[in-house]
Amino acid sequence: MENGAPAVEARRRAGRPPHPVLGPGRITKAALRLIARDGYKGLTMSALARLLNVAPSALYNHVSSKQDVLLLVEDHLMAGVDISGFEAGPWHQAVRGWAWSYRNVFARHTPLIPVIAVLPVTNAPQTVKMYEAVTAGFHAAGWPPDQIIDAIVALESFIFGSAFDVNAPAEIFNAGELAADAPLFTQAVASRASGSGSGPGGDERPVSPSDTAFGLGLEALIDGLWAQRALAPKARHP
């Protein structure tokens, strides 16, 4: 108990510490550790404080709310989304690689999606950086400037929705007692194609149902958006 090993920090007395104990970086890292260990239900301000060896109220010197913590986590994760394809390769392939990695990152962080989808990017530098890279890729592919954001938003909406689907249980479409009233649906569910399909690289290997649906929709969206790009109306002048 009283040996010199500082494996467990001693209780801190009240008052300003010699140098700050917390900060955005350490809070983000602790939040990620908590999420990895216990999931989002385990991410509470109390648990976060406990892991950082401070009182819960100390967190509010660095973030103004729990939403703020979620924004820190979100922005950190955005750095993990693959934007490398937009720097050089063809547009189709760049979008494909970006979309798959974007979905895969947030499939494990779906509770962030309602937050991201509604929060301004003003204080999320990694997020802005990602958008800049994607916009540059669209620009380089000759996209009409006034349509780029709408195309990105459409892709993102599909990506976010698909991230939820990754977490759906296998039996989500089991109609149970209601199957008798829905014969075509029940049949379609039973015959649902799975076991092989195209991944981000177009390789042929076993994939889950959610991967198959994502691949199908993503290719449709990429092709469909590209076709509409050609038909795009000229930008209106006021």
Partner DNA sequence: ACCTGAACACCGTTCAAGT
- Exposed e or buried b for every residue in 68-100, given b needs 16+ CB within 10 A? bbbbbbbbbbbeebbbebbeeeebebbbbbbbb
Residue 14 interacts, among DNA, its own copies, none and using kind-specific CB cut-offs from 5 to 8 Å, with DNA
24 makes contact with its own copies (CB under 8 A): no
By beta-carbon proximity to DNA, the closer residue of 58 and 189 is 58
Residue 79 interacts, among DNA, its own copies, none and using kind-specific CB cut-offs from 5 to 8 Å, with none
Beta-bridged to residue 198, according to DSSP, are: 204
Stretch touching DNA by CB under 7 A, among 51-59, 71-79, 103-111, 180-188:
51-59
By beta-carbon proximity to DNA, the closer residue of 44 and 93 is 44
Binding residues for its own copies restricted to 54-83, rule: CB under 8 A: none
Distance from C-alpha of 213 to C-alpha of 215, rounded to nearest angstrom: 5
Residue 228 interacts, among DNA, its own copies, none and using kind-specific CB cut-offs from 5 to 8 Å, with its own copies
56 makes contact with DNA (CB under 7 A): yes
SS3 category, 236: coil
114 makes contact with DNA (CB under 7 A): no
Crossing angle between the packed helical segments 66-78 and 24-38, to the nearest 10 degrees: 90
Annotate 28-80 with DSSP letters as a single string. Answer: HHHHHHHHHHH-GGG--HHHHHHHTTS-GGGGGGT-SSHHHHHHHHHHHHHTT
Distance from C-alpha of 121 to C-alpha of 38, rounded to nearest angstrom: 28
Distance from C-alpha of 100 to C-alpha of 96, rounded to nearest angstrom: 6
Stretch touching DNA by CB under 7 A, among 54-62, 131-139, 150-158, 167-175:
54-62
Site track 123-162 with its own copies (rule: CB under 8 A), x = hit = x-x--xx-xx--xx-xx-----xxxxxxx-xxxxxxxxxx
Judged by the rule CB under 7 A, the positions of this chain that interact with DNA are 11-17, 20-22, 43-47, 53-58, 60-62, 64-67
